[in-house]
Amino acid sequence: MTSFAIAGIQMPVSAITNNIPVMEHRVATVLAIYPWVQMVVFSELAPHGPLLSKAEAVGGPSEVSLQNLARNHNVWLVPGSLY
């Protein structure tokens, strides 16, 4: 059997500010403590909260930032949903 390590991050989600910089910090912190983690999972609507006014088209700046976050840390990333 092959091991696969998953970290779940539950954090306060702001509907006013962009949460992606906080998510980046949390991922870096988790991986500094647990370098064997291969997947990081965030809660629902973690990037921007529940406001439709934060909606972006597919491939928008938030999606690109989250792709870069996963690539830079070489992990699978489940960032929660976003509008």
- Claim: this prediction has a pTM higher than 0.85: yes
For CA atoms 53, 57, 61, 64, the dihedral sign is: positive
Q: Is 69 helix (H, G, I), strand (E, B) or coil?
A: helix
Tally of CB atoms within 10 A around 43: 15
Residue 1, pLDDT > 90, answer no
Q: Encode pLDDT of 72-82 as tens digits.
A: 999 999 999 88
Give Rg (Cα) of the chain.
13
Q: Encode pLDDT of 13-42 as tens digits.
A: 999 999 999 999 999 999 999 999 999 999
Instruction: Quote the Cα angle for 35-79-3, to 5°.
Output: 40
Question: What residue ranges do the domains of the chain occupy?
Answer: 1-7+35-43+59-83
